Each structure stands twice: as C-alpha cells, then as structure tokens.
Amino acid sequence: MKSFKNDYLKDNAIRAYADNLVSVEASARMDAFSNLQTSLNSKINNASKGIPNGVATLDTNGLLTQSQRPPVVASGNVFIFRPGETSPSGNVYNDWTSMIVAAQSKQGLKYIQFDDSLQGIVVPVDNVNFSEFILLPRYKKANYIEVNFSSGFLLSTWPIEIRGLNLKFTSHFNDNSGTNAFSMIDASIQYSGTTSNGVDFFSGSLTILMRNSQIVGPGNSLFSLANRSLQISAVSGLCNVDPNLIKGNASGSLNVTNYGASSLSIGSGIVQSQSSFLGTRTDIDFEHTLERTILSKGQLITKNGSGNFVATPVGADNELLAFDSTTATGLKSIPQPGALNSPGMKTITDYVRQSSPITSLLPAGNKTIDCSSANLFRITGGTATITISNLTENEVVNVVFESTGSAYSITWAGGTFLWPGAAVPIPTSTASRKDIYTFIKINGAIFGSAVLNMG
C-alpha cells in the first residue's frame, strides 16, 4: 500500500512540473511575438506601406487589402465584357481588345458574357476567331441582349454557340471556307447591310442548328452561297429565317430540316421564300405532316403503299370519291351517278314504293295548284277556276273533285289543255260521287283525262 501511494505522488509531481514548463514557454513566445510586432512597426518606413513593390498591408478581415491583391490574369475560362465599368477587375473587362487578348491566351473552351447593365454594347472593328467560344449574356433576360458589331468587324470563324443574344451586323463580316457549324439557342442574327453580302462562301459548307431562334433582315443578302451548301436545322421553339437573305447560283444547295420547331405561320416553313436562290432547295419536315401534305381545300389525307401520308387530288365539282387499289392514294374521283331529277331515263334495279302524306280536302272555290309541292290534290266540288302551275314535262298530277250534290262547272287554266274528243268533261253533280282528273305535260301541252261519277 505504501509503495502505491509513493508512485501516485511521483506522477502528480511530474505532471505539475511539465505543465509549468509549457506555460512558461508559451508566455515567453507570446512576449517575443509582441516585441517583434512593436519592433517592426518602429523600424519599417511608413512611406513604404501599401504601395507597389513596397510592404503589403492587411485589411480588417485579416486578408490583403483589395488594392494590394495581385490582379487575376486569365483566371478560369469565363470573360465578362461590361462597357462602362469604371473599375474593372478579375475577369470583368470594359475594353474589348484587352478581353480578347486575355481570352485567347487560354486554351480550350471559353465563354464571353455580355453585360449591358451600364451601357449598350458596341464591339469595335476587329478580326476574331471564335472557334473555341460560346457567346451568351451575363444575366438571363426576357429579351435579347443586343450586341452591335461596328462596320468592318470580321468574324474569321463562327463561335460554337450563340445564346440569348441578338448579334447585329451592318457590313460584310465573314468569309466561309471549310466545313463550319454553330448553334443558336434563344438567339438572333440580324443583318442590315445593303451594299455587300454578310457572308460570302468561298469553299465548303455551313450548318446552323436553331432552337427558338431567328435570322432576320432587313439586309438584302446575308448568305451568298455561290455554288456552295447551307444546311439549316430547326429543333424546337419558334424558328424563322426571313425572306431574301439567302442567294446562290444554280449549283448551290439549301437544305432545310425541321425536327419539331414552329414557323411564323401554318405551312410557311422555317425558311421563307428566297427569290435570289437559284440552286436546289430541299425541305424536310418531320413534325408538320398535315401542313405539308394538305395543300388545298377539299383534299383528304391517306397513306400510300409505302406507309407515307399523301393527299388525294381534288376532283371537279360534285364528283365523288371511290376506292381504287391501282392509285397511289387508294382513291379516285368519279362523276356522280345521274340524279333522279336530272334529264334522261333512270334504271332502278329494285322495287320502288312511293309514300306520301295524307292529302287534305280543300274547300270549293278558285284554286292554284302548285305541282312542285305535290302530285295529288282533293277539292270540294263547286264552280271554280282551277289553275295548274309548275307542271313540268312528263309530270303526272291527279286532281279529285268530291261532289256535294249540286251542279257546278270548272274552268281549267295555266296552259293549253287537250281533252278526249276535244271536250272538257262535265263534273258529276250526284252527292258523294267523285271525279278524278289526270294531267300530264308533253311538249308544253297539258293532256287531261277524267274518270267521272266514281262512287
């Protein structure tokens, strides 16, 4: 027990001794550091503090003051062009030339963001290779940011992509050679030059991929293809290329492909009419099948033997459609069969039953019988003038007079009447007896006959 107690006392003594040594050393070092700071402040010339090649100073946050921080040269791959910026720093530039020099010193993909928050953007005359660049706005806006290129600016190579900008050119700015391509997303290219072509094709081809973008005038020729090739593909959104911006000779080719974009008007296509383009134009639309197929009113859409949508040709007025397996559409127009009211004899290969509504008994007195409304009339017997109207050639009409028991006479009018024996029948006066008159018109004359005193 005594040995254990001695060991415990020895351990405590050693620990206390070590803690005392550490405390003394820490205090000595802090005093030395404080003395060093005091000594330095007294020995450094204040005129040398905070000046280039002098002594750097710290800000209240413990970091170098802003003015003492070294400039960031070509940091990252994003470059911001902000005209009107009075204190540009880092990757923000107010001078186009300085920014392009810094950007071109970087290898690989680079971004130029345009910032018009201080003033409008005007790019000075330059000759820039944008082959590794994507051009876009610094901040997302509802409308395009307009980027005005000064007359004489040359774009030696197209950028990879243009996004959210309206690039405005007023003079020739590109000579296309080799195989080139670029994309437009929510963007616009506007050419207003009238004395020269915006882009002259010397060799190769150009492919433009458009998403909700447009290429507009009012310039007289943006793309002059000569005998070269231009491909325009529209993927989505509203896409449009204004009229008369593309020209080329008979050997040039213009290929337009719509993968699902909308045009300004139904059936107009993504690329409008290009009257100065004399070469071969090919339009392929994978989305608007009906708009491309149905070209005029009256057409019906069907499929041909290959499974493609086709429209039946429009026939003449009043023609009918009939199935025909030999035609591309499976349909053909045929004249409609003769109607029953058309001239000529009709052959009816079945029994026909004529049904008419009940014929009401008309009161006695003068009457005009309209033969276009019925072919059977019932009239109460009595002296009257009966006028036959609208009786057509070969039409048969029956008129029944029902006697009341008093003698009466009938005068027939409305045409030239011919009767058996050239004598007009005398009506029956016996009560409840009936006289049936039958009329048929032949060569303009009305032939009449009568069956009298039926009862």
The model's pLDDT over 391-445, given as tens digits with 9 standing for 90+, comes to 999 999 999 999 988 999 999 999 999 999 999 999 999 999 999 999 999 999 9
The conformational region for residue 382 under phi > 0 = left, psi -120 to 50 = alpha, else beta, is left
pTM higher than 0.85: no
Tell me, what DSSP letter sits at residue 46? G
Per-residue pLDDT at 28 = 86
Per-residue pLDDT at 150 = 97
Query: Which token pair is 349?
Result: 């290969």
Per-residue pLDDT at 334 = 79
Q: Which of 433, 389, 438 is nearest to 418 (CA)?
A: 438
Q: Which of 206, 201, 204 is nearest to 182 (CA)?
A: 206
CA dihedral 276, 281, 286, 287 (to 10 degrees): 20
Per-residue pLDDT at 288 = 58
Minimum mean pLDDT among 98-102, 148-152, 353-357: which range? 353-357
Is the pLDDT score of 240 beyond 90?
yes
Q: State the pLDDT confidence band at 7, using cuts at 50, 70 and 90.
A: low
Q: Which of 104, 102, 84 is nearest to 94 (CA)?
A: 84
Per-residue pLDDT at 74 = 47
- Inter-residue contact 165 to 135 (CB < 8 Å): yes
Query: Which token pair is 83?
Result: 């005209």
Tell me, what DSSP letter sits at residue 64? B
The one-letter amino acid code at 448 reads G
In the predicted model, what is the mean pLDDT of residues 90-117? Answer: 95
- Inter-residue contact 408 to 374 (CB < 8 Å): no
pLDDT tens per residue across span 309-343: 676 776 677 777 777 778 877 778 777 766 656 66
- Inter-residue contact 270 to 263 (CB < 8 Å): yes
Contacts of 42 (CB under 8 A, 6+ apart): none
d(CA 192, CA 175): 17
Length of the chain: 455
Query: Which token pair is 207?
Result: 């492919």
CA distances from 211 to 207, 236, 263, 273, 338 (A): 13, 5, 12, 20, 56
Q: With pLDDT > 90 as the criterion, what percentage of the chain qualifies?
A: 60
- Inter-residue contact 400 to 427 (CB < 8 Å): no
Per-residue pLDDT at 316 = 73
Is the pLDDT score of 304 beyond 50?
yes
Query: Which token pair is 58?
Result: 């710290």
pLDDT tens per residue across span 122-149: 999 999 999 999 999 999 888 999 999 9
Per-residue pLDDT at 132 = 96
Per-residue pLDDT at 345 = 61
Tell me, what DSSP letter sits at residue 183? E
Per-residue pLDDT at 120 = 96
Q: State the pLDDT confidence band at 91, using cuts at 50, 70 and 90.
A: very high
pLDDT tens per residue across span 276-301: 999 999 988 876 555 556 566 766 77
Tell me, what DSSP letter sits at residue 420? G
Per-residue pLDDT at 384 = 95
d(CA 190, CA 213): 11
d(CA 177, CA 234): 23
CA distances from 317 to 189, 314, 334 (A): 48, 9, 11
Residue 66: phi, psi to the nearest 5?
-55, -40
Query: Which token pair is 123?
Result: 């790019």
The average confidence (pLDDT) of the chain is: 86
Q: Which of 114, 113, 108 is nearest to 131 (CA)?
A: 108
pLDDT tens per residue across span 369-401: 999 888 899 999 999 999 999 999 999 999 999
Is the pLDDT score of 113 beyond 50?
yes
User: Is the bond preceding 218 in cis, omega lying within 30 degrees of 0?
Assistant: yes
Q: Which of 418, 419, 401, 397 is nearest to 410 (CA)?
A: 401
- Inter-residue contact 256 to 272 (CB < 8 Å): no
Contacts of 97 (CB under 8 A, 6+ apart): 124, 126
pLDDT tens per residue across span 19-78: 888 888 888 888 888 887 777 666 656 565 556 556 666 677 666 676 666 665 545 899
Q: Residue 101 half-sphere exposure, CB side, CA atoms within 13 Å?
A: 7
